Amino acid sequence: MRRLIHRPEAGGAISALLVFAFFAILAGHNGFLSLLGTAYWLDTASELGIIAIPVGMLMIGGEFDLSVGAVVGATSMIVAICSGSYELPGWLGFSLAVVFGAGVGLANGLIVVKTKLPSFIVTLSTMLMVTGSILGVSIGLTGSSSISAIPNDFLGVLVAFKWHEFHISILYWVLFGAAAIYVMERTSFGNWVYATGGNVVTARLAGVPTDRVKVILFILSSLGAVLVGTIETYAFQNGSITLGAQYVFSGIAACVIGGVLLTGGYGSLLGTAFGATTYGIVSLGVFFLGWNADLTELFIGALLLLAVISNNRLRTFALGR
């Protein structure tokens, strides 16, 4: 039991369970426990969860990415301009977005490792540049910053499929989540990520290619945003530059609630999944209760604070002093 509580994902699991129990008891009769209610929070958790997987890896690797939200919005515009304004096949727009996202991630990574500036400020800059440039291109090409995206090929099915209200994003969340947990816990690369975040000097002296690790993590982080941007754009067939803005904060929040240390080097992607689940439950639960929606932010804010405090304590416990 003591061992279990010392796992980095323990805090996330406990908070997910607590908020689930809370809303199940208070809002169960309002439909929170129904199939539809479950689909609602799972869909929300899965979209955030997909973002949070690579964001969590990056945080464990010791860096932040504030540009994910901007990349979601940029992806949305790219996909929409291609399929909506130019009637190009969906896969082409998606491929373009992947190239764009990978480019942003590469730029983030290279700037961070070459300049040694904090990633916080570097990705803040790229966030602004991404939004500004895509907006300029979009207004230049279409005169608008919000464009219909019409699914016209298999991509529509691949990203917009749903069963009842259970969106296919849940499947991607589970698949990519499992793959990422495997990479982090059972491959050399995962070991290098933990080491790089733990102490970049130590890792480098030991022979870990820390720069390459960081660049790869930044690219993955952008690619997660590209996937979610595409999913969300096709779900409503509407491209918008502001799509995904909330992920800058909720992505990091999910990771921290899930037990990832803000200083890097410690955490778990399973915990991150619990963090996203917590967020999904709380952010919909308040509507089932008919409460003021601002309470979501109050809830998440409080959970976040608790998480940061308990993460630090867990860390001290884990170190046995």
Residues 201-260 that bind other proteins (CB under 8 A): 201-203, 205-208, 232, 235-238, 240-246, 248-250
Number of residues that bind other proteins (CB under 8 A): 88
Task: Name which of residues 157 to 176 contact other proteins (CB under 8 A).
Answer: 165, 167
Burial of 253 (0-12, 13-18, 19+ CB in 10 A): buried
Single-letter amino acid code for the residue at 36? L
Question: What are the DSSP E strand ranges found in 97-247?
Answer: 146-148, 162-163, 166-167, 238-240
Rounded distance between C-alpha atoms, residue 247 and residue 53, angstroms: 12
- b/e per residue, 97-131, with b = 16+ CB within 10 A? bbebbbebbebbbebbbeeeeebeebbbebbeebb
- b/e per residue, 277-296, with b = 16+ CB within 10 A? bbbbbbbbbbbbeeeeeeeb
Task: Name which of residues 274 to 303 contact other proteins (CB under 8 A).
Answer: 283-285, 287-290, 292-294, 296-297
CB of 17 to other proteins, least distance (A): 20
Q: Single out the segment in contact with other proteins by CB under 8 A; choices: 92-100, 108-116, 179-187, 219-227.
A: 179-187
Segment 201-210 long-range contacts (CB within 8 Å, at least 24 positions apart): 210/113
Do residues 148 and 80 make contact, with C-beta atoms less than 8 angstroms apart? yes
Closest to other proteins by CB, 8 or 109: 8
Closest to other proteins by CB, 49 or 95: 49
Closest to other proteins by CB, 95 or 245: 245
Contact flag: residue 70 with other proteins (CB under 8 A):
yes
Q: Single out the segment in contact with other proteins by CB under 8 A; choices: 9-17, 28-36, 96-104, 301-309.
A: 28-36
Rounded distance between C-alpha atoms, residue 306 and residue 321, angstroms: 20
Tell me, residue by residue from 110 to 149, as one string, x for binding to other proteins by CB under 8 A and - for no binding: --------------x--xxx-xxx-xx--xx--xxxxxx-
Contact flag: residue 62 with other proteins (CB under 8 A):
no
How many Å is the Cα radius of gyration of the chain? Answer: 19
CB of 27 to other proteins, least distance (A): 7
Closest to other proteins by CB, 28 or 95: 28
Q: Single out the segment in contact with other proteins by CB under 8 A; choices: 49-57, 91-99, 104-112, 193-201.
A: 193-201
CB of 91 to other proteins, least distance (A): 22
Rounded distance between C-alpha atoms, residue 144 and residue 240, angstroms: 10
Q: What are the φ/ψ torsions at residue 166 (nearest 5 degrees)?
A: -80, 110
CB of 261 to other proteins, least distance (A): 8
Which tokens go with 184?
A: 């982090």
Q: Single out the segment in contact with other proteins by CB under 8 A; choices: 42-50, 112-120, 214-222, 304-312.
A: 42-50
